[in-house]
Structure 1
Amino acid sequence: MLYKGLIIGLFICGLTHVAKAQSNGIVEVQKDSLINLLQAFRAENGINPTTARMVSLGSKVVDKKNAKRVQVRGFRVQIYSGSSRNDAYAVQSRFQQEYKDFGSYVSYSEPNYRVKVGDFRSRSEANSFMRELRSQYSNVFVFTENVWVYE
């Protein structure tokens, strides 16, 4: 109930702000900086805005030595689920040998052990990695959970 009241209060404050801006005759436009980047990309590559295409805006390079690690809501790829503790740790070990740059995590929720890998901010990154892992592991899935990332 408190949550509902908070939302209504924020909505009323927003309406008041809009009404105040309109009475002054001033319109303030806020645009995400990525829009300019996307428009420039389309102009350089002759992409028609009515044609649907995947666009990569590149990945943000993080200096891990100077960055701090924080926990955020993100995605992981599950590569094992089963009742054998030994199998879970064997799968984790095999994964760590092949993918040294990705974190791997073993959890236990009765009666199953689960091995999840990666710390992805976006579902698309996790899905891409999941497709790569499908040839090596069976029953691979993407899960939403708290992950560790560098900022």
Structure 2
Amino acid sequence: MKKLLTGILCCFSAVVVAQTKGVVAVVKDPMIDSLIAKRIELNLKPATTGTPGSVSPVRPGTAIVSQVGYRVQIYYGSDRREVYNEQSKFNSSYPELNTYITYKQPNYYLRVGDFRTRLEAQRLLNELRPMFPTLFIFREKINAPNLEPQQ
């Protein structure tokens, strides 16, 4: 009798556990399409750098292209005023290079340039060595520089 009940119980449990194919219904919020359109619109605007009022060398109406490149870090520290002083010191000497200030708790980081190769970043680092004591080269996402031929 125990064997019979065990056999019947096993058959019923196999039927209960068996799964059938289902249908997946994807529910999409209508705001997703508007967010995608907004993202495309923002990518067509010119990029701004970390300094107020300055604009990177991207022509209006063209897409902002990001790529992996190199930047030179010229300062890091926890004093906000000091990082802005270093930024103005650098901008007075090199107004053509973009500066970027980032904050990662508890420090501020001042990085400069959008270099496609490490060699370009190394040239700037060697040039800046007398003015700034702690210099490092970092590989990160950069704003692609304008590649029009110089005349």
Please give the range of the TM-score, normalised by the shorter of the 2 chains. Answer: 0.5 to 0.7
Q: Distance in 2 between matches of 1:81 and 1:64?
A: 28
Q: Which residue of 1 aligns with 2:122?
A: 127
Normalised to the residue count of structure 1, the TM-score between the two structures is: 0.55
Q: Distance in 1 between matches of 2:116 and 2:66?
A: 10
Higher percent of residues as helix: 1
| AA in 2 matched with 1:114 | Y
Give the 4+ runs in structure 1 shifted more than 6 A: none
Quote the offset at 1:110 in angstroms.
0.8
Q: Which residue of 1 aligns with 2:88?
A: 93
Percent of aligned pairs with the same amino acid = 38
Q: Distance in 2 between matches of 1:68 and 1:131?
A: 33
Matched, 1:75 2:70: yes
Q: Superposition RMSD on alpha carbons, in Å?
A: 1.9
Q: Which residue of 2 aligns with 1:84?
A: 79
Quote the offset at 1:139 in angstroms.
0.6
Quote the offset at 1:68 in angstroms.
5.4
Q: Distance in 1 between matches of 2:108 and 2:71?
A: 15
Provide the aligned length of Structure 1 versus Structure 2: 89
Q: Which residue of 2 aligns with 1:105?
A: 100
Quote the offset at 1:127 in angstroms.
0.6
Segments of 5+ residues of structure 1 without an aligned counterpart are: 1-62
Normalised to the residue count of structure 2, the TM-score between the two structures is: 0.55
